[in-house]
Amino acid sequence: MSDRAPLDRCPGLLRPFLADDGALVRLRMPGGRVATSVLADVASLAGRFGAPVVQLTSRGNLQLRALPSPLPPAFVEAIEATGLLPSATHERVRNIVAAPLARELDPVVEAFDLALRANPRLAALPGRFLFAFSDASGSVLSERWDVAYQQLTSSTGVLYAGQLGREVRPADAVGAMIGVARRFVESAPEGAWNVRDLPDDSPVFDGLDPRAVSAAAPLRPGVAGSDVVCRVPLGMLTAEQVDVLADVADTVVVTPWRSIVVPGGADRADTLLRAGLVTEPEGPWARISACVGAPSCRRTTVTTLDLARSAVEMVASRQLTVEHDVHVVGCERRCGTGTSDRVLVAPPTVDEVVTALTAPAEQFHRGEQ
């Protein structure tokens, strides 16, 4: 069981979080699917009201920051007009990731989102509770999900909660996942935000047996069939980059790895690269990320974004080979950390970040997860 306080501060549009640089809102997109026209509207609103970038979160959501507090009604109404707030009551619990390349999962993700919003009791889920949908590849199962469904074939699949699971047909997946989520709301002890916080005898695990989860590694930037995976440097998407994305595709998929899948975009990879997006699997921008750090966050004095940018410049100037995913954070909360990251907590120097990116495992110790 968790020893954390039961206060859930995960932000939404209707309950923003107040940071040192202003109000912060998070916009959920089940499965990461979003029209580029909607992305363009969000980017325009970010530039009009706050910081002129759209942040990609480690759960495949969008985040806007440095907004006025209280939020101007015109801003809230404009976001609502995009369709990204279909439910005021369930806004913060629509945390749903899905395998970015598996478009056959779109109908089940949509059906699950509808069922989630239709259940009044599930509005009480913690904002940190995460649902995941995967195909046979195991994509996104590497993330810290609470309840997951893996569709293996058109007629078979597995429901997971923690390290337990049972076979469930795809036609029954939505109802089964809603049932697990409902039992969590009904039985979880105070202070439990996730399934991993539950005791072994929790009713959430009823009917489930130990079952190994076969997870795929996060998608790397690059061409994937007819699609292209574009890493967004430091997860900061600009309005100009959104314009280029809109020129290439009507709909894109935001991943949990601060990247965007552009369906049918493989032959436009060079165009996306010129826009500042990363379309090759290696190199420092494909490997480094950071929390927002100072001066935007009151929890640290470390300018994490500047450290990351300087590390990229140093790697390039020294022509070093980058071997690892590194996430630079300003405090022990480790916001935005990915499952494959080497984590540097409040690193004092750029050299330390460069070492984490390039050094063998035996030479890296400080702050490692």
Residue 312 has pLDDT above 90, yes or no: yes
Phi, psi of 266 (to 5 degrees): -60, -40
Q: What is the mean pLDDT of the chain?
A: 94
Distances (CA, A) of 162 to 101, 152, 190, 193, 334: 24, 18, 19, 13, 22
Structure confidence at residue 87 as a pLDDT band (50, 70, 90): very high
What are the residues whose beta carbons fall under 8 Å from the beta carbon of 171, sequence distance 6 or more?
none
Fold (CATH) for 92-210:
Sulfite Reductase Hemoprotein; domain 1 (3.30.413)
In degrees, rounded to 5, the angle at the alpha carbon of residue 255 between the alpha carbons of residues 144 and 221 is 115
In degrees, rounded to 5, the angle at the alpha carbon of residue 81 between the alpha carbons of residues 75 and 86 is 110
More confident residue, 269 or 338: 269
pLDDT score for 104: 96
Single-letter amino acid code for the residue at 238: T
Residues 319-330 have a mean pLDDT of 93
Q: Are 296 and 20 in contact (CB under 8 A)?
A: yes
Single-letter amino acid code for the residue at 321: T
Q: Are 251 and 268 in contact (CB under 8 A)?
A: no
Residue 369 has pLDDT above 50, yes or no: no
Residues 63-85 have a mean pLDDT of 98
Where are the domains positioned within the chain?
92-210, 222-281, 285-363
Q: What is the end-to-end Cα distance of the chain in Å, rounded? A: 21
Share of the chain above pLDDT 70, in %: 96
| Segment among 230-239, 254-263, 343-352, 353-362 with least mean pLDDT | 353-362
| Segment among 90-99, 319-328, 353-362 with least mean pLDDT | 353-362
Phi-psi region of 86 (alpha: psi -120 to 50; beta: other; left: phi over 0): alpha
What are the residues whose beta carbons fall under 8 Å from the beta carbon of 263, sequence distance 6 or more?
103, 226, 227, 249, 251, 252, 253
Rounded Cα–Cα distance for residues 57 and 257 (Å): 8
- Burial per residue of 287-317, b for 16 or more beta-carbon CB atoms within 10 angstroms, e otherwise: bbbbbbbbebbebbebbbbebbbbbbebbee
| pLDDT digit string, tens, across residues 326-339 | 999 999 999 999 88
| pLDDT digit string, tens, across residues 113-129 | 999 999 999 999 999 99
Comparing CA positions, the residue from 274, 282, 293, 302 lying closest to residue 335 is 293
In the chain, DSSP finds a helix count (H) and a strand count (E) of: 8, 19
Residue 248 has pLDDT above 50, yes or no: yes
Residues 67-87 have a mean pLDDT of 98
Rounded Cα–Cα distance for residues 164 and 200 (Å): 10
Rounded Cα–Cα distance for residues 272 and 290 (Å): 22
- Burial per residue of 197-214, b for 16 or more beta-carbon CB atoms within 10 angstroms, e otherwise: bbeeebebbeebeeeebe
